[in-house]
Chains A and B, each alone.
Chain A
Amino acid sequence: MDESAQSPAAEAWIAFCHNIPALAGLLILLGIVALTLYGTLFYAGDAYEIVWAPHEKPLTESDFPLGTDYLGRDIVAGLIAGGGPTLAVGLCAALLTMVIGIAFGALAGYYGGWVDIVLMRITEFFQVLPALLFAMVLVTLFSPSLVTIAIAIGVVSWPQTARLTRAEFLKIKELEYVTAARAIGTRDRRIIWKVILPNAAPPLIVSATLTVGVAILFEAGISFLGLGDPNTMSWGLMIGMNREYILDAWWPVTFPGLAIFLTVFSVSLLGDGINDAFNPRLRER
């Protein structure tokens, strides 16, 4: 018996702190978030303003360390300004994915029977839609803004979360402490959200983290295809706008690409770390 009481979450956190790659992922991600939030404090520059000659090479002009793009806009300023929307879209899309996915999966898994059948057929309908195409259709139908992009990504990526949640619920609802909860007179609603969901949380948290990474890539993809909101700077938009000139100037495309890579990479490390922390058996390997 331990002396101090430790919640499963606290134990997972301790395990997480011993995981170097996961910590590195967390630090990189925090760094990126800090740069996008507070970058303007020590780097003054307007991402939308034409400030210099087009296609200035990086490290030649001290005012524009990473050079300028095809219009002569500062790339560093673009990276700082574009980070926020990119991360926000990723986060909102992941949030939406989790909300829809968990609601569908939880109800289907818990109630079973015809509820399960109906909800899962709806899920399958969304699952067989080609995700990127469907998102593109949504974005072009409605005006391309960050909100519509986030909604489009959320709408196409929730089925996986729903399936994962359903599987967890099917497993956990058979356990004795769920019957015990019923035996003290707990309502169905409370059993779903307060008894089963907390126990299903670990894989869902991992999935949510990884979904953020996928959503960021999705946003980049949509922006790259020129369907993004041209009035809001984002990393995907920067790549998309500069891609025609890639043979003449590699840097306006490469740096936002690296930023996306670093973000998704750190999110993946983080997700893996959380997964290991919640699964003691994997931890030992």
Chain B
Amino acid sequence: MSRILEIDDLAVDFDTRFGRVRALDGVSVGLEAGETLGLVGESGCGKSITALAVMGLVPTPPGRIGAGSIRFCGEELIKAPKSRLRNLRGAEIAMIFQEPMSSLNPVFTVEDQIVEAIMLHRPIEYDAARREAVALLERVGIPEAAQRARDYPHQLSGGMRQRVMIAMAVSCRPRVLIADEPTTALDVTVQAQIFDLLGEIQHEFGVAIILITHDMGVISEMADRVAVMYAGRIIEEAGADDVLDHPQHPYTRGLIACIPTLEDDASLREIPGVVPPLHALGRGCAFADRCAYMDARCRRERPALAPTGHHANACLAVAEGRL
């Protein structure tokens, strides 16, 4: 398989009242055609910024791409002209969002919005686009699609709206689909349906998915490979099973230990401490304050993502065999 998307040493800065803050630092990750890459981490660790950077939608100002490159099928996106990015967006790289409640425009019918997405990128008659919109709605499992197509977003449930978003996202057969916590706002039962649908869509359309989530359970269901992010960096990357069964970085271990099990009668576990604010990162490892294996060197040096076989991690304790 070929790498369809290649992110290399990407850095994104934000101007805040604490000065310039590096929200993404040296992020390198690749996406193979047709695979699912899970991007995991706590809130504010840079998952969504990575997604926005790929879409070319980092809000500027205050944001700014500081360094690095993003290549789609070998084509550099960072310096690409706006018009080129606009043509890629929706057509080749599509995105679905966290809040299906607010990611559809309330004053247009869902049909109008899907037709809009289709007609932006394809030379197609309005009527044909409409028929296709209804067919897409049927495909994503919306009952009575022809009638529902005339509905306004507020008339649909959250799960239905997320289905509409998926229909819209795949309407131009993109090669990359970024799903930014697509089920966070939905019921657990609906979550499962949406993930099933995403799996089917991926199979049928051959689209590669970047799945952003903080839920390790979702990762075990969906992802082929996982990149774990912490404070704007990738700290572990490997196949999904590898990460789940043999996590290396203490942070990943913590995340997996936090998954509640039915046998476990103890209360919910957590990783002690909080993510340090980005403007107050020291020289050392960003996780040091919360890490049980921390020693003096962890305070001084920031470990780079060091590959060990197929499994890469950024931890000095692992490298020194202290854990």
Residues of A near any B CB (own CB < 8 A): 1-2, 5-9, 113, 175-177, 179-187, 195, 198-199, 201
**Interface of chain B residues 102 through 134 with chain A (CB within 8 A):** 102-109, 116-117, 120-121
Q: How many A-B residue pairs have CB under 8 A?
A: 80
Q: Contact mask B119-157 → A, CB, 8 Å, 1/0?
A: 011000000000000000000000000010011100111
Expressed in whole angstroms, the Cα–Cα distance for A1 and B147 within the complex equals: 12
B97 touches A176 (CB 8 A): yes
Expressed in whole angstroms, the Cα–Cα distance for A182 and B168 within the complex equals: 13
Number of interface residues of B (CB under 8 A): 36
Question: B39 contacts the other chain (Cβ, under 8 Å)?
Answer: no
A184 touches B120 (CB 8 A): yes
Expressed in whole angstroms, the Cα–Cα distance for A198 and B113 within the complex equals: 14
Expressed in whole angstroms, the Cα–Cα distance for A15 and B86 within the complex equals: 40
**A198 neighbours in B (Cβ, 8 Å):** 105, 107-108
Q: Who on chain B is nearest to A179 by CB?
A: B57
**A1 neighbours in B (Cβ, 8 Å):** 151, 155-157
**A184 neighbours in B (Cβ, 8 Å):** 89-90, 94, 116-117, 120, 168-169
Q: Who on chain B is nearest to A186 by CB?
A: B120
Residues of B near any A CB (own CB < 8 A): 55, 57, 61, 86-91, 94-95, 97-99, 102-109, 116-117, 120-121, 147, 150-152, 155-157, 165, 168-169
CB distance from B259 to the nearest CB of A (A): 29
Expressed in whole angstroms, the Cα–Cα distance for A180 and B155 within the complex equals: 19
A185 touches B88 (CB 8 A): yes
Q: Who on chain A is nearest to B98 by CB?
A: A176
Q: Is the interface of A mostly helix, strand, loop or mixed?
A: helix
Interchain residue pairs A-B with the least CB separation, the first 3: A184-B90, A185-B90, A185-B89
**B121 neighbours in A (Cβ, 8 Å):** 185
**A180 neighbours in B (Cβ, 8 Å):** 95, 97, 103-105, 165
A8 touches B152 (CB 8 A): yes
B106 touches A8 (CB 8 A): yes
Q: Who on chain A is nearest to B82 by CB?
A: A188
**B157 neighbours in A (Cβ, 8 Å):** 1
Could you give 30 example pairs across A and B, Cβ below 8 Å?
Answer: A1-B151, A6-B155, A7-B107, A8-B107, A9-B107, A176-B97, A176-B98, A176-B102, A177-B103, A177-B104, A177-B106, A179-B57, A179-B103, A180-B103, A180-B104, A180-B105, A180-B165, A182-B55, A183-B55, A183-B89, A183-B95, A184-B94, A184-B116, A185-B87, A185-B88, A186-B86, A195-B105, A198-B105, A199-B105, A199-B107
